[in-house]
Structure 1
Amino acid sequence: MGIVWLIIVGAAAGFLATRFMNLRLGTLQTIGVGIGGALIGALVLRFLLALTGMLAGLVGAVLGAMLLLWIIKAVMDR
């Protein structure tokens, strides 16, 4: 079922992409472009999500360290 779904989504994506770009391709080329575009898009999206996740981790770590320093300062000022 996965391959059939990939071909259906690839055909739809290729059809839409060729219409948006004002190109006329054959059916197999349109499906191939759609499947290739889906693979490239998935890789780019995974990369961006991973990068965003790492950045969010860094921001969280900095905020956590700042909170810890604030607590230490509050305790030492007593």
Structure 2
Amino acid sequence: MGLIGSLILGAIAGFIASKIMNESSGTLKNIILGVVGGFVGGFVFGLLDLNASGLIGRLIISVVGACICIWGGRKLF
């Protein structure tokens, strides 16, 4: 997946995570949250020895990771 595809997937994942966690955020924050969430989710799923393939699998991992990031941000601030 190219850079543009990753940013679009990140924006979608960040948007979904912000709705799940009842967080109001802008488009740029959603993109950043989704991309970072993809890394966090990949790390967490790797620790659990789980993996997902395909677009839907990456989206689920990114959403879970973004939710973890929102939760962690709430705990820190």
The CA deviation at 1:44 is 1.3
- Relative contact order: is structure 1 or structure 2 higher (C-alpha 8 Å, sep ≥ 6)? 2
Aligned to 1:9: 9
CA apart distance, 1:34 = 0.8
- TM-score, normalized by length of structure 1? 0.57
- Using the alignment, how far apart are the partners of 1:46 and 1:2 within structure 2? 22
Distance 2:25 2:48 in 1: 30
Listed one character per residue, the Cα deviations across residues 2-28 of structure 1 (whole Å, up to 9, x for unaligned) are: 211110110010000001111111110
Aligned pairs (5 A) from 1:49-64: 49=49
What is the root-mean-square deviation in Å for CA atoms of aligned residues? 1.5
Q: Give 1 or 2: higher helix fraction.
A: 1
| Long gaps (5+) in structure 1 | 51-78
Count, aligned residues = 50
Matched with 1:34 is: 34
The list of structure 1 runs, each at least 4 consecutive aligned residues, that deviate by more than 6 angstroms after superposition, is: none
Larger radius of gyration: 1
Gaps (5+ residues) in structure 2? 51-77
TM-superposed CA distance for 1:49, in Å, is 1.3
TM-score, with structure 2 as normaliser: 0.58
